[in-house]
Amino acid sequence: MPTHSETLPQYSRRAPGATTPQNANLPPQRLHVHISRSKKLELQVKARGEDHVVLSQTEVGGDVWIEGKLVVTLPQPEQISFLRLRVKGVVRTMVMKVHGSGRHPVGDEVVICEDGEDLWTPEMTLLNNESVDPNKLQGTFTFPYRLKIPGRIRSAQGPDPTSPRRTRSTPPSFVLSGNASEGGGKGVEWASCRYYLKVTMGRKGLLKVNERFIVPLVYVPRHSEPEMSAMRTVALAEGRPTPSPQDDPLGWNGQKIRHIVKRGMFAGKRAWYDAALLLPAPATFARLSTVPFAIKLTSSDPSTTTRFPLTSLTAYLVQRTHISAQGLSNAHDSVVAQGTLEEDGPSEGSAVERDREGEVEPAVWEKRFKGSLSLSKAVGSSFRAPNLTVQFLVAIYITVPGAGNDAELVLPIEIVSSSPVVYAARAPRAVPLPPTAAGPIPIPAPSAPVAAEGGGGVGAAALSPDEMGLPPSYFQVLEEEERNR
């Protein structure tokens, strides 16, 4: 009979508490009511979310429908030309362009989806119009509506205009903010993907101003469940511990590098060490789950390369955001999680012999480690959108005494939003900062790195958690609109 620790496997690609789509415990929809400053426009939206309008995909690739009513209250007769409601998704990006006179921001904006309808035009008759003048409206009017956010959007047109355009999953709400050291001031917005409802009440007359009312939305996609190897799937189904790379070699993939260590006067003493990083294949994981990894270090001379104590390894999860604007590109890196590591075998390592073509080479030394990265609520999902791509990297930094002896391993992973499950709210955790400029950098620095304060960065966990377990970057899209309301 399996023990308690075996009943709950240590690693799973699925988030804890995940259920089947038929039994998904999504919160019920509620009526969100938003009123304009003039009190003349009241937009009612049926959606999830406690304090914000949250639109969640219930099927992979399925469209999301927005339903509700627009209530217009006109105490005095007014000459209205139209009533229009639109839902729009917009990607905005900004990069810094280097000139001889300094650095200057360059921005771009792409509409990724749009839907709308005219709720009223002068050709339509309103039976409850209280105005004596037939050209004006007075009273309270209710207009039902039904709009759509598509489950998939078209990618940008390639160089060949005759080639068909591919489609990709509609990206989630997202905001990436920068810091003051990169120009533009603290809190400058480098990239965002925003969705909103916009009501426009047109007025006739040269000096009459149209009234506009914007309600921000939070869009949450749903992706397919992560695939796993056959052995891992069976182990989880039977409640057994998941297999290691030695037990399931086909279920793990990774990267291997060799580094030369030089010591002594004039670097006369040399040795090499191989470092291999392994992740379960395919490297796709659900939000709020755990990413396991394994590390193997092999040395030709441990007295020269050291025996790699546990403190010589550091594991990070890095969010890399690729941003483009008007033909210019940039990359922003932020550390969103730090991994836990433990030795997997003797602390001093062990000597091994390698047999190559029947010849036994001199014994080499090896040591194994295992660890995991917990995907907290602050970590969003991977996505691609016009001018904006968010990916995640597992980065292992290896510290070896001596200049130029350090090494790093970086493997990309994909994080998906799978079953629409309500997760218990987690207390925000402080994410350790990467080493300072005087120390090692855990990943290769991009052309112009910027430490992110939002969008899943170090400061994102300080925002209040939502009842649906969504990352704070999803809700940061609402801050600007709510400040301006």
CB atoms closer than 10 angstroms to residue 346: 10
What is the Cβ-side half-sphere exposure of residue 368, based on CA atoms within 13 angstroms? Answer: 13
For the chain, helix, strand, coil in percent to 5 are 10, 45, 45
Question: Is there a contact between 466 and 475 (Cβ–Cβ < 8 Å)?
Answer: yes
Sort 235 into a burial class: Cβ within 10 Å, 0-12 / 13-18 / 19+. Answer: buried
Question: Which of helix, strand or coil describes residue 406?
Answer: coil
Q: 404 φ, ψ to 5°?
A: 75, 10
Question: Which of helix, strand or coil describes residue 172?
Answer: coil
CATH topology of domain 24-220: Immunoglobulin-like (2.60.40)
Peptide bond into 302 cis (omega under 30): no
Which tokens is 452 given? 């992110």
What is the distance between the alpha carbons of residues 459 and 319, in angstroms, rounded to a whole number? 13
What is the distance between the alpha carbons of residues 431 and 461, in angstroms, rounded to a whole number? 8
Q: 7 φ, ψ to 5°?
A: -65, -35
Sort 430 into a burial class: Cβ within 10 Å, 0-12 / 13-18 / 19+. Answer: exposed
Question: Which of helix, strand or coil describes residue 182?
Answer: helix
Candidates 2.60.40.640, 3.40.710.10, 2.60.120.1600, 1.10.1740.10; CATH matching 241-455: 2.60.40.640
User: Can you give the pLDDT of all 485 residues of the chain as single tens digits?
Assistant: 333 333 333 344 554 444 444 335 567 888 999 999 999 999 999 998 888 899 988 888 899 999 999 999 999 999 999 999 999 999 999 988 887 777 788 899 999 999 999 999 999 989 899 999 988 999 999 999 999 999 998 876 555 555 566 788 999 999 987 654 454 444 567 899 999 999 999 988 777 889 999 999 999 998 888 888 888 888 878 888 888 888 888 889 998 988 888 776 555 678 888 899 999 988 999 888 889 999 999 888 888 888 899 999 999 999 999 999 998 898 899 999 999 999 988 888 888 766 555 544 455 888 999 999 999 888 889 999 999 999 999 999 998 888 888 889 999 999 998 753 333 323 333 333 333 333 333 343 333 333 222 222 222 222 233 445 666 666 665 655 555 55
Give the helix/strand (H/E) hosting 475: helix 472-475
Which tokens is 436 given? 């300072």
Residue count of the chain, please give it. 485
- Complete DSSP assignment for 13-43: SSPTT---GGG--PPPPEEEEEE-TTSSEEE
pTM of the model: 0.78
| In the chain, where the domains are located | 24-220, 241-455
* Residue at 33: amino acid letter: V
Q: What angle do CA 110, 115, 120 make, to 5 degrees?
A: 130
Same fold, 24-220 and 241-455: yes
Using the 8-state DSSP alphabet, how is residue 159 labeled?
A: S
What is the distance between the alpha carbons of residues 438 and 448, in angstroms, rounded to a whole number? 18
